[in-house]
Amino acid sequence: MPGVAWWRSYLKLTEAPVAGENKSCKVAFLGVGLWRSWERASMAWKRSSVRSRPGPPKSFLMPAVYILQSEKTKRFYIGCAEDVSARLKEHNRGQTVSTRERGPWILMYQEQFATLTEARRRERQLKSWKSHRSIQEMIKTAARS
């Protein structure tokens, strides 16, 4: 029957001792093949730039737009995330390609939103300004209040 015996390549027979007796029996178990494919998948997850972040359930996290400033170059980075503190740690560890060589980063501004869609819309708006001066003014205004 074609398609039925695919699993046989993953089965391996081995001798296993029988408890309390001086005998052994043949035992079939799944070989390393399936586990190795799972291991490769988990390693790909570790290398991926898009990953779920451990922490509180997503219902407690509010999406936010954030502005970081590089201590090295004094340039700004605008982004959005559900967990800003975890995202800042990723930036400082060099796990984000766009900010890798310019850290360490300081959180300068944060704005909370009800949904991630609203946060992304605001992120696009801030990025469209393209003016260092207007971003600094917004940060100063937020710091005063």
Contact yes or no for 24/17 (Cβ under 8 A): yes
Q: Does residue 15 belong to any structural domain of this protein?
A: yes
Residues 126 and 86 in one domain: yes
Q: Are 75 and 136 in contact (CB under 8 A)?
A: no
Domain contains 66: yes
In tens, the pLDDT along 5-21 reads 544 554 555 555 656 66
Question: pLDDT tens digits, residue range 112-139?
Answer: 999 999 999 999 999 998 788 888 888 8
Return the DSSP state at 57: -
Percent of the chain predicted with pLDDT > 90: 37
* Cut 0.85: pTM above it: no
Q: What is the pLDDT of residues 17-39, one digit of tens each?
A: 656 666 655 555 554 444 445 45
Number of independent structural domains in the chain = 2
Q: Which domain holds residue 13?
A: 5-47
Single-letter amino acid, residue 137: E
